[in-house]
């Protein structure tokens, strides 16, 4: 009895222990379960607020100072006791969501792998919401068949899991509901965060409906390494950044642009030029530019693509507001050639966009400045495509990709097909840098510029809406068809 009592006291003492997140003891413990001392968590919150006020061009633009302050106080009050790393990250994430900026986000999967244990277990979930229900999009673990409706995952209903995942995504300026489309990316970490004690090899039950029949299946959780392998397979980069597909019988073509920020940039320039050359030679009557799931990138690449679509080109952005900080300088480190200032300036003067960024990089720390743009890129007249065109977009179309969509729509050059993209019609943020907190190591992307589509400097919440509202339907999902593409080809 004495030994039993002493053991119970020892276990109780261990469970009441909190950790310094930078200590060796913390990295040796079960970080997914053990608690961090609240003083360190408060220091993290204070640092995060300071970084937002220092780096972000205007964190109050959509929410206002009062709402920002209330969100900060609520986050502060949460630390009435010690919390786990996951609880801490969720609290900080609730705080930053008040800013309503799609560029300001927690690095969720980095958090997942840093907070889990070596023997933690995961359930890779690739599920697509359609009309308020949830269907298997891809199956990597011999689970329910593609097209099956998922009812629940373990103790979580699919609606509950979707709500948890949606907390990690942001509707910029509350202008639309893009977070519904972004949420599936976070199903796997959200399922783990709700059950952080689950281990590799544990069994989890998924309830689903297929062919009108309710069924269930027990799946074995995979290891962190296996999860990374599955994710690499799912997001593998065998697809080239710019892909062209021609439908000669229909006289149509589609140019898929996965990102406007690929490297090397010159490869994409050549592919874009070749696409429009082939379009002329093949007599294509209608084209579509597909920027669904495009995370944005370079405004220069957007302008280059637009130069093939209108004789005088299309200038973008109209202006950017630069917030000078040590973090913003990281973005333009190549511009700050202090040892050769004269030759550097001469070099950048050849390009308006580059030269404006160069001038902005000279802004004193903690000050803001605005650069205006007016000279678009142009092509020779015979290289410009003048036929009909459409743009495919969705809720995962972000940043410069949204700029591209609204630019063509506002100039009456193209119709938009799909769902609203994640930006307002007046502008967005950009040039995101990584900010890592000193105590917990949790990292965030934080923008360093405001990217305005016009010179009104408006922050109204006007969404960029499609001319033809369309999303993937269940029949096409089951048969492997792309609903938006099918609509474009047939219409």
pLDDT in tens, 27-46: 899 999 999 999 999 999 99
Q: How confident is the model at residue 166 (pLDDT cuts 50, 70, 90)?
A: very high
Which class is 127-234 in CATH?
A: mainly beta
pLDDT in tens, 252-263: 999 999 999 867
Burial 184-205, CB ≥16 within 10 A → b, else e: bbbbbbbbbbbbbebebebebe
Helix (H, G, I), strand (E, B) or coil at 28: helix
| CATH ID of 242-434+445-490, from 3.20.20.220, 3.40.190.10, 3.40.50.300, 3.90.226.10 | 3.90.226.10
| Region 299-317 average pLDDT | 93
Alpha carbon 365 to its chain's center: 28
DSSP 264-294: SHHHHHHHHHHHHHHHHHHT--EEEEE-TT-
Is the pLDDT confidence value at 360 over 90? no
Q: Please give the share of the chain, as a percent, with pLDDT higher than 90.
A: 80
pLDDT in tens, 270-281: 999 999 999 999
What pTM was estimated for this model as a whole? 0.91
| Region 447-452 average pLDDT | 95
pLDDT in tens, 214-244: 999 999 999 999 999 999 888 875 568 999 9
Give the C-alpha separation, 405 to 400, whole Å.
Answer: 9
Tell me, what's the pLDDT at 214? 97
Q: Going by DSSP bridges, is the β-strand pair 427-430/388-393 parallel, antiparallel, or unpaired?
A: unpaired
Tell me, what's the pLDDT at 175? 81
Q: How confident is the model at residue 88 (pLDDT cuts 50, 70, 90)?
A: very high
Phi-psi domain of 293 (left: phi exceeds 0; alpha: psi -120 through 50; beta: other): left
CB 239 within 8 A of CB 258: yes
Helix (H, G, I), strand (E, B) or coil at 427: strand
CA distances from 386 to 185, 255, 285, 480 (A): 37, 15, 9, 32
| Region 51-56 average pLDDT | 96
242-434+445-490 has the same fold as 127-234: no
Q: What average pLDDT does the chain have?
A: 91
Tell me, what's the pLDDT at 9? 38
Give the C-alpha separation, 396 to 428, whole Å.
Answer: 14
- What 8-state DSSP symbol labels residue 37? P
The domain spans of the chain are 15-115, 127-234, 242-434+445-490
Give the C-alpha separation, 396 to 415, whole Å.
Answer: 18
């Amino acid at each position: 009895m004495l030994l039993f009592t002493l053991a119970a006291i020892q276990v109780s003492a261990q469970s009441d222990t909190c950790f310094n997140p930078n200590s060796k003891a913390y990295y040796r413990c079960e970080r997914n379960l053990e608690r961090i001392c609240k003083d360190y968590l408060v220091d993290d919150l204070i640092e995060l607020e300071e970084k937002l006020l220092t780096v972000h061009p205007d964190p109050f633009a959509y929410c206002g100072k009062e709402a920002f302050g209330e969100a900060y106080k609520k986050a502060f009050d949460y630390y009435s006791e010690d919390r786990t790393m996951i609880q801490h990250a969720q609290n900080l994430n609730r705080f930053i969501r008040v800013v309503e900026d799609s560029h300001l986000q927690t690095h969720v999967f980095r958090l997942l792998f840093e907070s889990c244990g070596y023997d933690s277990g995961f359930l890779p979930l690739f599920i697509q919401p359609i009309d308020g229900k949830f269907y298997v999009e891809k199956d990597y673990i011999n689970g329910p068949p593609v097209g099956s409706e998922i009812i629940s995952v373990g103790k979580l209903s699919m609606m509950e899991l979707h709500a948890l995942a949606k907390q990690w995504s942001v509707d910029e300026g509350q202008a639309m509901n893009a977070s519904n489309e972004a949420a599936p990316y976070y199903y796997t970490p959200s399922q783990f965060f709700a059950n952080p004690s689950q281990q590799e090899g544990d069994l989890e039950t998924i309830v689903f409906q297929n062919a009108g029949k309710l069924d269930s299946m027990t799946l074995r959780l995979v290891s962190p390494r296996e999860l990374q392998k599955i994710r690499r397979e799912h997001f593998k980069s065998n697809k080239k950044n710019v892909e062209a597909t021609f439908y000669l019988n229909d006289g149509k073509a589609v140019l898929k642009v996965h990102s406007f920020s690929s490297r090397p940039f010159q490869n994409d320039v050549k592919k874009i030029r070749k696409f429009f050359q082939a379009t002329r030679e093949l007599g294509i009557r209608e084209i579509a530019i597909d920027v669904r799931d495009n995370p944005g990138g370079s405004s220069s690449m957007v302008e280059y693509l637009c130069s093939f679509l209108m004789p005088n080109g299309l200038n973008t952005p109209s202006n950017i507001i630069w917030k000078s900080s040590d973090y913003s300088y990281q973005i333009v480190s190549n511009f700050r050639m202090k040892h050769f200032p004269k030759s550097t300036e001469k070099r950048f003067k050849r390009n308006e966009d580059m030269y404006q960024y160069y001038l902005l990089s000279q802004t004193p720390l903690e000050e803001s400045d605005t650069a205006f743009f007016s000279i678009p890129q142009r092509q020779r007249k015979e290289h410009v495509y003048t036929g009909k065109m459409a743009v495919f977009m969705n809720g995962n179309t972000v940043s410069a990709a949204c700029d591209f969509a609204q630019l063509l729509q506002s100039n009456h050059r193209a119709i938009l097909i799909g769902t609203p993209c994640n930006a307002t019609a007046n502008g967005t943020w950009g040039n995101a840098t990584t900010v890592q907190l000193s105590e917990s190591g949790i990292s965030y992307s934080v923008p360093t510029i405001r990217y305005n589509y016009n010179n009104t400097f408006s922050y109204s919440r006007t969404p960029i809406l499609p001319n033809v509202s369309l999303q993937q339907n269940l029949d096409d999902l089951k048969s492997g068809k792309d609903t938006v593409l099918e609509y474009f080809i047939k219409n």
